[in-house]
Structure 1
Amino acid sequence: MQQRTSGLKKRLRLAIEFAVMAPSGHNAQPWKFHIVRDGVELFADRTRALHIVDPTDRELTISCGAALYQLGLALNCDALATLVHILPDPARPDLLAKLRISGPHTPSEEEMEQFRAISQRRTNRKPFDTKPVPASIFDEWYLDSKSENCWLQLIEEFTQKHLIADLVIEGDRIQGSDKAFRRELAKWVNANRSTRRDGMPGYAHGVGNIASYLGPLLVRTFDWGEGQAAKDKQLAEGSPLLGILGTEEDTPAAWIACGQALAKMLLRGTARGLSASFLNQPIEVSSLRPQLGEYCDNEGFPQILLRWGYGREVQPTPRRAIEDVLI
Structure 2
Amino acid sequence: MPAERLSVVITRRLPEVVETRMKELFDVELRDPDTKMTRDELAAAMRRADVLVPCITDHIDAGLLGQAGDKLKLIANYGAGVDHIDVSTARQRGILVSNTPGVMTEDTADMTLALILAVTRRIPEGLAEMQAGAWQGWAPMAHLGGRVGGRRLGILGMGRIGQAVARRAKAFGMQIHYHNRKRLRPELEAELEATYWESLDQMVSRIDILSINCPHTPSTFHLMNARRLKLMKPSAVIVNTSRGEVIDENALTRGLRAGELAGAGLDVFEHGHEINPRLRELPNVVLLPHMGSATIEGRTEMGEKVIINIKTFADGHRPPDQVLPGMM
Q: Same fold (TM over 0.5)?
A: no
TM-score by length of 1: 0.27
Select the structure of larger CA radius of gyration.
2
Compare relative contact order (CA 8 Å, sep 6+) and give the higher one, 1 or 2.
1
Higher helix share: 1
Higher strand share: 1
TM-score by length of 2: 0.27
